[in-house]
Amino acid sequence: MLRLSLEALQIVDAIDRRGSFSSAGKELHKVPSTISYTVAKLEDDLGVQVFQRNGPKVMLTAAGQELLKEGRYLLKAAQDLEHRVRRVASGWETELSIGIDSMFSAVALADDVRAFYDVAQQTRLRLSQDTLSGTWEALLDRRADLLVGAPGDGPAGGGYIAQPIGMLDFVFAVAPTHPLAQVTEPLSRGHLQQHRAVVVADSARQMAPRTVGLLLGQDALSVPNMQVKFDYQVLGLGFGFLPGPCARAAIARGLLVEKAVEEPKPSETFYLAWRVGEDGAALRWWMARMREPDVFARLAQHLPGHSA
């Protein structure tokens, strides 16, 4: 008889990612006693210690790391099997996850969500947001089934299809009170090195994170999304590139000042992306909807400081 269950692997995975038994319980909707019992039984059945305990915080032992390294492959395989079985039984997925880069507000898809529920009430819909490489990683890790507005070229290795849906230019801007606002010539690396950048932190867990607009050794304030970056630049707490539509709207209101730079940021392409071989009815509906010509314009209308 197998002494290792998928449920136990799922719990070990959640504990490792969340850092504690209680946080894992919240994610999996299980009481702490169930989490503790499952781990204790797993350790007893295997005859090894999986976690080192230090108060509420826990860390994987060497044996636990090996268990989870291989166990995550089993969890992914089981998840893939569930998806295939459900698709065979019904043309509509039981759940579909739409991943949106955190640059855009998920509210931009409100009309699409409403239209989807009119035709597919049997499919649970989940909207998630990640940042930069983390957006692509969510697709490859099956945390998202379809990406809307994924930034830049996707990762090497394939396994997905990507179609461009739009482009954004970027404007270098600072608050009127920022010292760089008084510099008349185009800003050089030397000018920028003396001040703090505000950057959006990449949410990638496994992939190499992207760093955008940051010089080597640059003092930087890392923030979770573009909305916070915009707000902090308006407050004068740092500089950086902002999407053209939201930067120009703030400049017109006197909240920001556009500055010329010697090394401007090129425009970036944003993509619609999905995994190869996926063909559920809900995914097909969303793919068709997101290919409509006004989709990217609607996303751009929900950039920070540029809400419609």
Segment 135-162, tens digit of pLDDT: 999 999 999 999 999 998 888 888 999 9
Q: Please, is 99 exposed, middle or buried when counting C-beta atoms within 10 Å of its C-beta (0-12, 13-18, 19+)?
A: buried
Mean pLDDT of 288-296: 95
Average the pLDDT over 232-249 and give the result: 94
What is the mean pLDDT of the segment spanning 179-206? 89
Predicted confidence at residue 153, as pLDDT, reads 85
Is 294 or 205 the better-scoring residue by pLDDT? 294
User: Which residues, 6 or more positions from 89, have their beta carbon under 8 angstroms from its beta carbon?
Assistant: none
pLDDT, position 273: 97
Which pLDDT score is estimated for 307? Answer: 47
Six-digit token pair at 89? 């039984």
pLDDT at 190: 87
Q: 79-131: per-residue pLDDT in tens? A: 877 766 765 566 788 889 999 999 999 999 999 999 999 988 778 899 999 99
pLDDT at 308 (0 to 100): 40
Segment among 41-50, 163-172, 256-265, 294-303 with least mean pLDDT: 41-50
- pLDDT of residue 191 exceeding 50, the answer is yes
Q: Judge residue 246's burial from the number of C-beta atoms within 10 Å of its C-beta, 0-12 exposed, 13-18 middle, 19 or more buried.
A: buried
- Look at residues 150, 254, 135 and name the one whose alpha carbon lies nearest to residue 201: 135
State yes or no: pLDDT of 173 exceeds 70: yes
Alpha carbons 104 and 304: distance in angstroms, whole number: 8
Predicted pLDDT of residue 216? 58
pLDDT computed for residue 1 by the predictor? 64
pLDDT of residue 162: 96
Q: What average pLDDT does the chain have?
A: 88
37: which 2 tokens?
Answer: 């019992």
Q: Which of 136, 108, 34 is nearest to 298 (CA)?
A: 108
Whether the predicted pLDDT of 213 surpasses 70: no
d(CA 236, CA 232): 6
- For residue 125, what are the β-bridge partners? 96
Domains defined along the chain, listed by start: 6-87 (1.10.10.10), 94-308 (3.40.190.290)
Its pTM surpasses 0.85: no
d(Cα 168, Cα 219) in Å, to the nearest integer?
Answer: 26
Higher pLDDT, 216 or 14: 14
pLDDT tens-digit map of 4-43? 888 989 999 998 898 888 888 898 999 988 988 998 988 8
pLDDT at residue 243 tops 90: yes
Mean pLDDT of 53-65: 85
